[in-house]
Amino acid sequence: MESVLSEVVALEDLQRFEKKYSAELKAGSVSKGTKFEYAWCLEYEKALKYIRGLLKTEPGNTQALELEKLINKAMQKDGLVGMAIVGGMALGAAGLAGLIGLAISKAKS
């Protein structure tokens, strides 16, 4: 199931599942399968929203439980990578500012 998170959803698939979801929503009732398929195509936060909705009606759904765990794990991983990038950029900017300050002070001397 972990390989599912590393796959890229084809635009055609996303549009197909979105159209199916919207049609069922407009009709008044979205099936569990449609919620699952559409959630699989969405971003993490939206996917979690739909997975948790599915789990409210089917708390024992092992596929949904496993997907929820994997999405949370992927969010944590992506969040840590994002924080490392931001931290690295901040450290680089501070280093650059220090070098500029040093160069300016040497130029004035």
pLDDT range class, residue 36, cuts 50, 70, 90: confident
pLDDT for res 92: 64
Total count of domains within the chain: 1
Domain boundaries, position 52: 2-108
What is the rounded distance in angstroms from the CA atom of residue 24 to the CA atom of residue 28? 6
Q: How far is CA 71 from CA 27, 48, 60, 77, 104, in A?
A: 29, 7, 17, 10, 49
pTM for the predicted model, two decimal places: 0.42
* Tens of pLDDT, residues 40-50: 676 776 777 88
pLDDT for res 11: 64
